[in-house]
Structure 1
Amino acid sequence: MEETFALHVRAEKLPAPVREHQFDSVRRWRFDFAWPDVRLAVEVEGGTWTGGRHTRGSGYAADCEKYNAAALAGWRVLRFPGDAVNSGAAIATVVKALR
């Protein structure tokens, strides 16, 4: 899904995001995609319908901690499941956020 999203970014001719951007040096948390100059991050959440890490208790709790820390640091974090990436809804949202 991340490669599909990256392809959509290029197709929309958006500024290139930083991949695996580390936003917290202590916890070493990373975003899948980030535009640090505008503090916009995108997380592509895998396994949404198959019981992946992001939908199980400990994974969900860890994600909450990460995203709350990002918000407190001034980041806007957009999260998308795979179907939003495939349908184009994810990139449409990012285009709105960047423009």
Structure 2
Amino acid sequence: MIMSRLEAEFALQIRALKLPVPETEFRFHPVRQWRFDFAWSLQKFAVEIEGGGWNHGRHTRGKGFSDDLKKYSEAMRLGWQVYRCDAALIKSGEAIQVVRAMLEQCEM
């Protein structure tokens, strides 16, 4: 799959901080086609970049929002920690700092 502009920017931040390389578009569920934008599968830690929050995209309306809730509930049931972030968190650098801290915690 082709990365969105935000996903590409986030991937650059991961490389700049020399963080472990995540799997992209990682299918975490054994049956459903659900995928995480970025996943560190050994740590069961994932990042989902939520686009469309300000322009009423699929993830913020009715069925799309409800489907995302089911996805995140199932991920949690399977033992995953999922960090959700948006463009503002990526652009400010806050998202990558949260991810770095989470990965450091996972190494303990």
TM-score normalised over the length of structure 1 = 0.98
Structure 1 stretches of 4+ with a deviation exceeding 4 A read none
Equivalent residue letter for 2:49: V
**1-side partners of 2:69 and 2:28: how far apart?**
15
- Report the counterpart of residue 81 of structure 2 in structure 1: 76
The partner residue of 1:25 within 21, 27, 30 is: 30
Aligned to 2:11: 6
Say if 2:57 is the partner of 1:52: yes
5+ long unaligned stretches in structure 1: none
The one-letter code of the counterpart of 1:68 is S
2:3 match: none
Amino acid at match of 2:92: S
**TM-score, reference length from structure 2:** 0.90
Question: Structure 1, residues 62-90: CA drift from partner, whole Å, max 9, x if none?
Answer: 00000000000000000001111111111
Question: With CA pairs under 8 Å and 6+ residues apart, which has the higher RCO, 1 or 2?
Answer: 1
Residue 25 (structure 1) shift: 2.6
Identity %: 49
1:42 and 2:47 are equivalent in the alignment: yes
RMSD of the alignment, in Å?
0.6
Q: How many residues align?
A: 99
1:57, distance to aligned residue in structure 2 (A) = 1.2
